[in-house]
Protein backbone atom coordinates (compact mmCIF):
# COMPACT_ATOMS: atom_id res chain seq x y z
CA UNK A 1 0.00 0.00 0.00
CA UNK A 2 2.86 2.39 0.63
CA UNK A 3 4.25 1.78 -2.86
CA UNK A 4 0.92 2.56 -4.34
CA UNK A 5 0.63 5.80 -2.40
CA UNK A 6 4.09 6.82 -3.46
CA UNK A 7 3.21 6.20 -7.07
CA UNK A 8 0.06 8.27 -6.73
CA UNK A 9 1.97 11.08 -5.02
CA UNK A 10 4.61 11.08 -7.74
CA UNK A 11 1.93 11.22 -10.45
CA UNK A 12 0.30 14.19 -8.73
CA UNK A 13 3.65 15.99 -8.45
CA UNK A 14 4.40 15.37 -12.15
CA UNK A 15 0.98 16.69 -13.09
CA UNK A 16 1.64 19.85 -11.07
CA UNK A 17 5.06 20.29 -12.67
CA UNK A 18 3.64 20.40 -16.17
CA UNK A 19 3.25 24.00 -17.12
CA UNK A 20 0.48 25.33 -19.17
CA UNK A 21 1.96 27.69 -21.72
CA UNK A 22 -0.30 30.49 -22.76
CA UNK A 23 0.54 32.50 -25.77
CA UNK A 24 0.60 36.14 -24.93
CA UNK A 25 -0.44 38.60 -27.58
CA UNK A 26 2.47 40.51 -29.11
CA UNK A 27 2.66 43.99 -27.70
CA UNK A 28 2.79 46.69 -30.26
CA UNK A 29 5.46 49.33 -29.90
CA UNK A 30 3.89 52.74 -29.39
CA UNK A 31 4.46 55.12 -32.27
CA UNK A 32 6.22 58.07 -30.66
CA UNK A 33 9.35 60.11 -31.34
CA UNK A 34 11.80 57.79 -29.58
CA UNK A 35 10.59 54.59 -31.20
CA UNK A 36 10.64 56.23 -34.62
CA UNK A 37 14.09 57.62 -33.94
CA UNK A 38 15.56 54.21 -33.12
CA UNK A 39 13.52 51.93 -35.43
CA UNK A 40 12.91 53.93 -38.58
CA UNK A 41 16.58 54.18 -39.53
CA UNK A 42 17.75 57.38 -37.90
CA UNK A 43 20.17 55.39 -35.74
CA UNK A 44 20.91 51.90 -36.91
CA UNK A 45 22.60 49.18 -34.91
CA UNK A 46 25.78 49.63 -36.98
CA UNK A 47 25.90 53.36 -36.31
CA UNK A 48 25.29 52.83 -32.61
CA UNK A 49 28.07 50.22 -32.48
CA UNK A 50 30.40 52.51 -34.39
CA UNK A 51 29.63 55.42 -32.02
CA UNK A 52 30.11 53.33 -28.87
CA UNK A 53 33.84 54.17 -28.37
CA UNK A 54 33.06 57.89 -28.59
CA UNK A 55 30.20 57.54 -26.11
CA UNK A 56 32.48 55.66 -23.71
CA UNK A 57 35.17 58.34 -24.15
CA UNK A 58 32.70 61.11 -23.33
CA UNK A 59 31.46 59.14 -20.30
CA UNK A 60 35.06 58.70 -19.12
CA UNK A 61 35.72 62.43 -19.50
CA UNK A 62 32.55 63.13 -17.52
CA UNK A 63 33.73 60.89 -14.68
CA UNK A 64 37.13 62.63 -14.66
CA UNK A 65 35.38 66.02 -14.57
CA UNK A 66 33.22 64.96 -11.62
CA UNK A 67 36.22 63.54 -9.75
CA UNK A 68 38.26 66.68 -10.39
CA UNK A 69 35.43 68.87 -9.12
CA UNK A 70 35.13 66.74 -5.98
CA UNK A 71 38.88 66.97 -5.36
CA UNK A 72 38.85 70.76 -5.86
CA UNK A 73 36.00 71.22 -3.37
CA UNK A 74 37.79 69.09 -0.78
CA UNK A 75 40.95 71.13 -1.30
CA UNK A 76 39.02 74.38 -0.80
CA UNK A 77 37.53 73.01 2.44
CA UNK A 78 41.00 72.05 3.66
CA UNK A 79 42.38 75.51 2.81
CA UNK A 80 39.55 77.17 4.76
CA UNK A 81 40.15 74.88 7.74
CA UNK A 82 43.90 75.59 7.76
CA UNK A 83 43.30 79.35 7.38
CA UNK A 84 41.07 79.35 10.48
CA UNK A 85 43.62 77.27 12.37
CA UNK A 86 46.41 79.70 11.36
CA UNK A 87 44.39 82.67 12.61
CA UNK A 88 43.78 80.98 15.97
CA UNK A 89 47.48 80.14 16.35
CA UNK A 90 48.41 83.71 15.38
CA UNK A 91 46.11 85.10 18.08
CA UNK A 92 47.67 82.74 20.63
CA UNK A 93 51.17 83.84 19.57
CA UNK A 94 50.29 87.53 19.87
CA UNK A 95 48.73 87.11 23.32
CA UNK A 96 51.75 85.07 24.54
CA UNK A 97 54.11 87.72 23.16
CA UNK A 98 52.19 90.48 24.95
CA UNK A 99 52.27 88.50 28.24
CA UNK A 100 56.03 87.96 27.88
CA UNK A 101 56.59 91.67 27.16
CA UNK A 102 54.60 92.58 30.30
CA UNK A 103 56.37 90.03 32.49
CA UNK A 104 59.81 91.14 31.33
CA UNK A 105 59.36 94.78 32.33
CA UNK A 106 61.68 96.03 35.06
CA UNK A 107 58.94 96.63 37.62
CA UNK A 108 57.31 93.23 37.06
CA UNK A 109 60.66 91.43 37.36
CA UNK A 110 61.42 93.36 40.59
CA UNK A 111 58.01 92.52 42.05
CA UNK A 112 58.47 88.80 41.30
CA UNK A 113 62.00 88.85 42.71
CA UNK A 114 60.70 90.41 45.95
CA UNK A 115 58.15 87.61 46.28
CA UNK A 116 61.05 85.11 46.11
CA UNK A 117 63.02 87.00 48.76
CA UNK A 118 65.62 88.44 46.39
CA UNK A 119 66.36 92.14 46.98
CA UNK A 120 67.37 94.64 44.35
CA UNK A 121 70.99 95.69 44.52
CA UNK A 122 71.46 99.35 45.40
CA UNK A 123 75.09 99.48 44.20
CA UNK A 124 75.86 99.84 40.53
CA UNK A 125 77.61 96.92 38.85
CA UNK A 126 81.43 96.95 38.91
CA UNK A 127 83.71 96.17 36.02
CA UNK A 128 86.20 93.37 36.59
CA UNK A 129 89.50 93.94 34.78
CA UNK A 130 92.28 91.48 34.18
CA UNK A 131 95.71 92.82 35.27
CA UNK A 132 97.58 91.00 32.54
CA UNK A 133 95.95 93.05 29.79
CA UNK A 134 97.47 96.23 31.14
CA UNK A 135 94.37 98.09 31.96
Between 78 and 30, where is the model more confident?
78
Give whole-number Cα distances, 127 to 119, 120, 133, in Å.
Answer: 21, 18, 14
| Position 134 pLDDT exceeds 60 | no
pTM value > 0.75: no
7, 15 contact by CB (below 8 A)? no
Residue 55 gets the label, from left (phi > 0), alpha (psi -120 to 50) or beta, of alpha
DSSP state of 134: T
| pLDDT above 70: percentage of residues in the chain | 87
Amino acid sequence: MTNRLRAEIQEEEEAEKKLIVKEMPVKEIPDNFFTQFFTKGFVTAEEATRALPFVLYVAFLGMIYIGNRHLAENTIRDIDKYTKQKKELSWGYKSSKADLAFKSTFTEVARRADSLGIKESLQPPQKIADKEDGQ
